[in-house]
Amino acid sequence: MTQSPLIAAHPITDSHCHLDFPDFDAERDAVIARALAAGVTRMVTICTKLQNEPAVRAIAERYAPVYYAAGVHPMSAADHPPVAVDDLVALAQHPKFVGIGETGLDYHYTADSKAIQQSSLRLHIAAARDTGLPLIIHARDADDDMARILAEEYRNGAYSCVMHCFSSSAELAKAALDLGFYLSMSGIAAFPKSSALRDIFAAAPLDRVLLETDSPYLAPPPHRGRRNEPAYTAHTAAVGAEVFGLDYADFAAATNANFDRLFWKAAA
């Protein structure tokens, strides 16, 4: 990736990627080197099945700029043993474990497991509450249930949260922001036809916005349709700066400060 010296000089964070996926096996060192060259000085790699946690943890231990989180993805909840809050709390003792999840609700392909997903989500929320670490939420085609459960659980006790790869409705965005949660901007926000999503971000408080790739998925232009990687966070950041009417440097600094506030264990 070729990046301008100006952009590379202003640190940003990829708050959600999947560096353990086989897409990166052949060149993980190079992928992380390219991220650093593009100004992406921190990455959070996400474990989506707890049996994979040792491999994800090993990546965070090997690379200084990489942190990790772990949980059970909603699309895997029906095929995974019920998550135990105590197990997540125990994992959170690792110095580079910085978040709970990803968890959430996905009714697009797995609506038949709604009840299991909802139970799993509530257990992850309990772990986030117990550890003080941010909850990492995946939401797809489940806006009403998601807003309801997040609010119900918040009334049972406060916790922090990011709506990862946010691409849902303005109503769910408002529900999350009203609870003090964060919205994470992925490459989807940079797609030409995503003007409605950009409008949702433009209406959000700047101090509640994060950046991510969700790599290897959802590469932003000019890499759309190819494998995504953390370096490409810079392309989404450039679009985000335009959305908020800011210089790249100011937007980079704001999103990095937001990351430090939410993911406090990885604060610079």
Distance in angstroms (rounded) separating the CA atoms of residues 262 and 182 = 8
Sign of the alpha-carbon dihedral angle for 116, 182, 174, 228: negative
**Structure token digits, residue 253:** 């600094």
Between CA 96 and CA 152 the distance in angstroms is 30
What is the rounded CA–CA span in Å between residue 254 and residue 202? 14
Q: In Å, how far from its chain's centre is CA 8?
A: 21
138, 267 Cβ separation under 8 angstroms: no
Return phi, psi of residue 120, to 5°: -60, -45
Answer yes or no: is 16 a known binding residue.
yes
Cβ count within 10 A of residue 217: 16
Of 132, 255, 156, give the one whose Cα is nearest residue 205.
255
The number of beta carbons lying within 10 Å of the beta carbon of residue 179 is: 17
C-alpha radius of gyration, the chain, whole number? 17
Q: Is 102 annotated as a binding residue?
A: yes
What does DSSP say about strands 66-70 and 209-211: parallel, antiparallel, or unpaired?
A: unpaired
Cβ atoms of 143 and 166 closer than 8 Å: no
235 carries a ligand binding annotation: no
Cite the annotated binding site for a divalent metal cation by residue number: 16, 18, 102, 138, 164, 214
Binding site residues, as ranges?
16, 18, 102, 138, 164, 214
